[in-house]
Chains A and B, each alone.
Chain A
Amino acid sequence: MLAMLAAASQAAQQGTGIATRGVSPQPRGKPSGLPFHARFSDVAAAAGLREPVICGPVGHTDYILESMGCGIAFIDYDNDGWLDIFTVTGTRRDGAVAGASNRLYKNNRDGTFKDVTREAGLIRQDWGFGVTIGDYNNDGFDDIFITQWGQNVLYRNNGDGTFTDVTQKAGLLHEGRHFGTGCTWVDYDRDGFLDLFVTSYVEFEFDRVPAAGKNPNCNFLGVPVYYGPRGLPPGRCWLYHNNGDGTFTDVTKALGIDKAKPAYNLTAMAADYFGTGRQGIYVACDSTPSLLFLNQNDGRFLEQGLEMGVSVNEDGNEQAGMGLGLGDFDCDGALDLLKTHFSEDTTVLYRDVGRGGFEDVSMRAGLGVETRYVGWGAGIQDFDNDGWPDLFWATGSVFPEVEKVHLEYPYKTPRVLFRNLGKGKFEELMEAAGPAIGEAHSSRGVAFGDFDNDGDVDILIMNVNEPPSLLRNDVSGGGHWLKVKLEGVKSNRGAIGSTVIASYGDRRQAQAVTAQASYLSVNDRRLHFGLGTAATADLEILWASGGRETVKSVSADKLVTISEGKGVVKSEALTGFPRRH
């Protein structure tokens, strides 16, 4: 009780309105000295990603709306086998920024991208936040849904390089104005059509929330900062059922989604978390307990984050959940979770322990050494193809004003990469992972994918009021890899919600096809398995439809396409494109 009241008093006095534990970093152990075979270089400018993503004013943040930044997506909108890029943008209160827009960049297959936003019909500058990519009408082309402050937007991919705003026609307009954030396609009823889950963060109106400096209780280390999220009415969640005819029906109430406690919702990530053949939805929540909606046998959802151990930290305290990673860090064939938080708190790593849900292993895994930065988009990905998935998250403060007074709290901060040492242990790498890891930005959304088709995982990062970063990964060391692309037949076309377990050597690594992860962002839907020294892998697929399929002895260093019920239908070597010097 003493600690509680002291904390309450302290939080109230500090008035930042964000949950943080005041955790000091744990001492760093002796470096392993092992070589790391992935090196990242930021090639965004050379690739043509030069337009800044707008998010409120530069140098100060008056409102929470201006601080949260946007998601970013890898999408192959023209089905040419090369990842294109979609960036969501915000705007400014004092007026639209000339030329700024959400952007679609087409991959030129030579290391560069072409801005095709206008031709695609995607010009829009609004308060955009989240994005989810999925083929909701099963026509073979990926569609785009974005969340905004105001109305969300559904763009149907016309299959000819253009998109059409079909929000109203699809029945996805909502009453009133909401601060839309998380969104993910999810086929919760396994009918082969993608349904849509959407969250909002807080209830926000400019004229109802004091600007930074107007409420003396809102300060960070004495510096006036914006108000919220604490003190603002929390957001909510929606679930829309896909009627299969291009329209959706709001089933939030009917399926029990509205029963969850109101929370400050951010990233939403759907997957078959427990291998039951039914998808659940995990929502990272800021300063309130995170939510895990589990699909019950009667089709309804029950929020069970607490019971599954992913709602609060191991002390029972809520954290400032921002981004989510999904993967299998211990290669036991079950999906684990990564969730980023505010500074002076640890990023949490949850291990799937079967019965009882997940166990917080952050400190045991060695993540406690890094508590300096506010964490955002995150992933569990094998960057060096050694067969053990590593951890990455982007960082960035939300208070640009603070560094002017406190140099130790910079607004732009470096990226964080932990390499997997095996046996559940991680080691933070700085210089060893290449120059782009140490570069400082105030980043938010992150997408993981192989944009240059060279057999590794590259990283695309949204930076506030700057152009995105594109971290090209150049892997050495000769580790094998395998990419798996799933095509649903009974399942939705993009197989969103399916899980693949790759068995290689003595490991079984699970990965899931998601439509939103990281921070309000979308990863490459082709699953990338580093295999280390293994030259083949056996694959077990848990389709979103509930079906299971096994494919034996798949050769490494290839992209294989598996069609539901038909096994491998295509196997191709990826050689990348010629590098420019």
Chain B
Amino acid sequence: MRGLAVGLIFIGSLLGQATAHAGKAMQLMQDRRYSEAAVEFEKALAADPNDDTVRIQYATCLFAQERNADARKQFEAARKRLGERPGLNYFLGQLDLRDNDFAAAIRRLEPLASDTSFPKATYYLGMAYLGEGERERATVALQRATKNVPNDPEPHYRLARLYSMTGRDEEAKREYRLYDGARETQRLVEGEGRACMDALQEQTLEKAREVCERIADPHDARRMLLLGQLYVGKGAFEDAVRPLRASVELEPELFDGWHYLGLSLYWLRRYSEALPALQKAAELNPRYFDTLNLLAATYHALGDDKAALPVMEQAHELNPEDAKLAAALERMRAQQKGK
């Protein structure tokens, strides 16, 4: 019995380590520090090889770094354990494409062509057809892709090139125009983002607002998110709330929108408004340390330490090295024991 107990404690400790590494990895992923994130994911998986969620996150991290062979290995391992999943095939299909294995890419991506969860799958399918020399099928798939993701310049460009190659000059012109429009919008946003950052750095907030508000588009969640994030970066939380709220109203599954909205409201001491935003963010991404840390702090600020404690525990598991949180957790545990 004692051996079993020791074993269970050891496993518990390993799982704790796994959570901590996974939490760190997620944080690094959020900051686009992929190679460091990959190292943390590896440590998390070494401690708990059965965590499929972490394995898939690790695989996407490798995918983002174009470490194609490594990413494939992890996606395949997840597929072995979980069976055929559209999400896995979406990435594996793209890896096939990167490896010029067009037939395999077609096999994986064809079933996803009508799945609305993967609007860009038709684009990758089109590229796979193109690789196989099936220009007609490629044309149809790319045409669908331009409808599925109309603001994405990539499918327009590929379709335009395909039309050019096949002598469909008028259609090519139209697609080049659509590509140009979509790309121009991107450039505009990039330019506006840069101008806003400069203005926030160099000018008064009042003057900077004039520059930054050019990013605002009440119909575009991502532009609103960007604007909110830029304000947050400057500490202009009051200004950040409106665009961030708009972003999550337009796209309710937008994790970053909820997180930054919660963060802004927290710093504005509007804790009761921050709470639902952070709860939603934690629901969308339960392994993101910053969100859990903020959520726990919000519960605490609202006087609900009972709710705060388990969230703090989760956050601590994700990042045991955070000394401030560890100390706060100790205090709260002691307080709760004393009650």
Taking a contact as CB atoms under 8 Å apart, the answer to whether A24 and B226 are in contact is no
Q: Which of under 10, 10 to 19, 20 to 34, or 35 or more describes the interface residues of B?
A: 35 or more
Q: A9-B226, A217-B201 are in contact. Are A307 and B164 (CB under 8 A)?
A: yes
Of residues 134 through 172 on chain A, the ones whose CB sits less than 8 Å from some CB of chain B are none
Q: A315-B154, A316-B156 are in contact. Are A215 and B179 (CB under 8 A)?
A: no
Taking a contact as CB atoms under 8 Å apart, the answer to whether B165 and A356 are in contact is yes
Tell me whether A566 is interfacial, beta carbon within 8 Å. no
Cα A12 to Cα B173 in complex, Å, equals: 31
Select A23's contact among B66, B157, B180, B202, beta carbons within 8 Å.
Answer: B66
Which residues on A sit within 8 Å (CB–CB) of B32?
A: 10
Taking a contact as CB atoms under 8 Å apart, the answer to whether B226 and A8 are in contact is yes
Q: A307-B172, A309-B161, A316-B153 are in contact. Are A5 and B197 (CB under 8 A)?
A: no
Q: How far apart are B246's CB and chain A's nearest CB, in angstroms? A: 14
Report the nearest B residue to A230, measured CB to CB. Answer: B194
Tell me whether A2 is interfacial, beta carbon within 8 Å. yes
Which residues on A sit within 8 Å (CB–CB) of B153?
A: 316
Q: Please choose the segment from B42-50, B182-190, B306-314 that sits at the chain A interface, where 4 or more of its residues have CB less than 8 A away.
A: B182-190
Report the nearest B residue to A5, measured CB to CB. Answer: B222
Tell me whether A4 is interfacial, beta carbon within 8 Å. yes
Tell me whether B193 is interfacial, beta carbon within 8 Å. yes
Tell me whether B176 is interfacial, beta carbon within 8 Å. yes
Taking a contact as CB atoms under 8 Å apart, the answer to whether A5 and B223 are in contact is yes
Q: How far apart are A457's CB and chain B's nearest CB, in angstroms? A: 32
Which residues on B sit within 8 Å (CB–CB) of A357?
A: 164
Tell me whether A255 is interfacial, beta carbon within 8 Å. no
Q: How far apart are A170's CB and chain B's nearest CB, in angstroms? A: 37
The SS class assigned to the B binding surface is helix
Tell me whether A579 is interfacial, beta carbon within 8 Å. no
Taking a contact as CB atoms under 8 Å apart, the answer to whether A12 and B164 are in contact is no
Q: Pick the most buried of A307, A312, A315: most chain B CB atoms within 10 A of its CB.
A: A307
Taking a contact as CB atoms under 8 Å apart, the answer to whether B157 and A8 are in contact is no
Tell me whether A581 is interfacial, beta carbon within 8 Å. no
Cα A67 to Cα B13 in complex, Å, equals: 53
Q: How many residues of A contact B (CB 8 A)?
A: 33
Select B201's contact among A23, A215, A315, beta carbons within 8 Å.
Answer: A215
Q: A307-B164, A316-B156, A355-B167 are in contact. Are A2 and B194 (CB under 8 A)?
A: no
Tell me whether A306 is interfacial, beta carbon within 8 Å. yes
Which residues on B sit within 8 Å (CB–CB) of A309?
A: 161, 164
Taking a contact as CB atoms under 8 Å apart, the answer to whether A24 and B66 are in contact is yes
| 0 or 1 for each of A308-326: is its CB under 8 Å from B? (1 = yes) | 0100101110000000000
Q: Pick the most buried of A13, A231, A309: most chain B CB atoms within 10 A of its CB.
A: A13
Tell me whether B269 is interfacial, beta carbon within 8 Å. no
Cα A2 to Cα B69 in complex, Å, equals: 25
| 0 or 1 for each of A3-30: is its CB under 8 Å from B? (1 = yes) | 0110111111101000000011011000
Which residues on B sit within 8 Å (CB–CB) of A355?
A: 164-165, 167
| 0 or 1 for each of A205-245: is its CB under 8 Å from B? (1 = yes) | 00000000001110000000000001100000000000000
Tell me whether A34 is interfacial, beta carbon within 8 Å. no
- Chosen A-B contacts, 30 in total, with CB atoms closer than 8 Å, are A1-B220, A1-B222, A2-B222, A4-B151, A4-B152, A4-B186, A4-B189, A4-B222, A5-B189, A5-B223, A9-B193, A9-B226, A9-B229, A11-B190, A12-B190, A15-B197, A24-B65, A24-B67, A217-B201, A306-B176, A306-B180, A307-B172, A309-B164, A315-B154, A315-B157, A316-B153, A316-B154, A316-B158, A353-B165, A355-B164
A: residues with CB less than 8 A from B are 1-2, 4-5, 7-13, 15, 23-24, 26-27, 215-217, 230-231, 306-307, 309, 312, 314-316, 353, 355-357, 364
